[in-house]
Homo-oligomer: A and B are copies of this chain.
């Protein structure tokens, strides 16, 4: 059996939902359907989730929220009408929303989660109703009843191990399961949402629980590309890639998946396929445990901005046992995680994500490093991008770093940092943020410039 997850743009309006139904009809193995909340219908549209956040904010501000509620209900109403569904489903959704609005606002994070998650929950009810109306034997499944238990962290839920056994019963379900993405319930019965990429996580969990043969992730692109299509013109499509490759690429800016969403599928060795709702006959991109690699050791090039460095210099640093550990302790005390630590004899840099910093924290860190580590110099620098060149089999390819650095040199990009040596599937380079696009273009040209076919595996 297959688990098929449909993203926001795939369920944004009646036309899209009809495509979803056709996809489900076309393959009887598609027994579990995970849906997102309705996304944008066009560039200037607002996602239902964003409408719901506005509704929650109004309620938390002591307003009635009536106006905001109307906006949300109207979206479902227009979809229901175009799908020729009865008024009944719209009334169910409206009553559900009103009940949520009336619930406790004591913990604003819990209230926000409750309102936000209704986007997926009610869309699942609506889609189940539509499937039934076209004689697809389907049923909305409540995550609470099905047993999707999660940790008690609003906006950052982690699935609890016991959920897998409870959810495994879904594989014996007679009808097609229509399951809302993005949330689960704590052991106390409180609704909690997943972090970024939440519906992908739900799909991944269900695929693992029912031991699916395939987890299909339907989105609005034909496949994962070897580079960002807004940077590189018409990049080649990736046909097959490994979980590790996907993880490295999404970590460094590829937005197809949040880099942790695939963990449940990965751990259970369930293949994942990225497909296009608008072009389901295209084979998409397969994400699997292992792949063969032939000519090209590189599968993709990603860039992510927003990195800062702390530079620390101290004469005879390399002789001081414990220096690095004490430096990292200071960062840890501020709750900061680091990415890389390139080091010389008398100096070391720490590369980290800027979002973790603010002026006050930086000042505190510099002061502590100065006074506790008695360094000769310490300062922050901002505005770096990390470029990741990713591919299985890169590790033992002689000349790969030479090709990469030569390409950047030709593009007149100064390399601030090179990180090679631990990961077997990636080479990381830091450059100034303003050089990020030029770097990706140059590296793409170097590693894919000669690729004639439309796809790489």
Query: Bound state CA distance, A345 and B247, in angstroms?
Result: 9
The bracket for how many chain A residues form the interface is 35 or more
Q: With contacts A321-B337, A420-B418 known, is A402 near B408, CB below 8 A?
A: yes
- B320 near A337 with CB under 8 A, answer yes
Does A306 reach chain B (CB closer than 8 Å)?
A: no
**How many copies of the chain does the oligomer comprise?**
2
Are A340 and B338 neighbours in the complex by a CB distance under 8 Å? no
CB distance from A310 to the nearest CB of B (A): 10
Residue A62, interface by CB 8 Å: no
Query: Which of B332, B343, B423, B430 contacts A325 (CB under 8 A)?
Result: B332
Q: Does A344 lie within 8 Å of B418, measured CB to CB?
A: no
A322 to B336 CA separation, bound complex (whole angstroms): 9
Closest to A260 in B: B316
The interface residues of chain B lying within 8 Å CB-to-CB of A336 are: 321
Closest chain B CB from A35 CB (angstroms): 27
Residue of chain B at shortest CB distance from A407? B402
- Whether A339 contacts B329 by the Cβ 8 Å rule is no
Task: Chain B residues near A423: list those with CB within 8 A.
Answer: 344-347
One of A8-16, A47-55, A204-212, A409-417 at the interface: A409-417
Query: When the two chains form their complex, are residues B402 and A409 in contact, meaning their CB atoms are under 8 A apart?
Result: yes
> Is A406 positioned at the interface, with any CB of B under 8 Å from its CB?
yes
A318 is an interface residue with CB less than 8 A from chain B: yes
Bound CA–CA A369/B351 (angstroms): 24
The distance in angstroms between the C-alpha atoms of A263 and B346, with both chains bound, is 13
Residue A341 is within 8 A (CB to CB) of chain B in the complex: yes
A329 to B260, CA, bound (A): 28
User: A349: which B residues are within 8 A, CB to CB?
Assistant: 421-422
A277: interface (CB < 8 Å): no
A337 with B318: CB separation less than 8 A: yes
Q: Which A298-345 residues sit within 8 Å CB-CB of chain B?
A: 311, 315-316, 318-322, 324-325, 328-329, 332, 335-345
Residue of B251, B343, B414 near A422 (CB, 8 A) is: B343
Stretch in A104-112, A227-235, A393-401 with 4+ CB within 8 Å of B: A393-401
0/1 interface trace, chain A 24-51, chain B, CB 8 Å (1 if under): 0000000000000000000000000000
Chain B nearest CB, measured from A222 CB (Å)? 27
Of A320, A328, A346, most B-chain CB atoms within 10 Å: A328
**A406:B412 contact, CB within 8 angstroms:** no
Complex contact B343–A343 (CB within 8 A): no
- A392 beta carbon closer than 8 Å to chain B: no
Complex: chain B residue closest to A334, CB-CB = B321
Residue A168 CB within 8 A of the other chain: no
- Flag if B328 contacts A324 (CB, 8 Å): yes
Are A420 and B342 also in contact (CB < 8 A) when A406-B406, A409-B402 are? yes
For A316, the chain B residues whose CB sits under 8 A away are 260, 263
Please indicate the chain B residues that have their CB under 8 angstroms from the CB of A337 in the complex: 318-321
Q: How far is the CB of A303 from chain B (nearest CB, A)?
A: 15
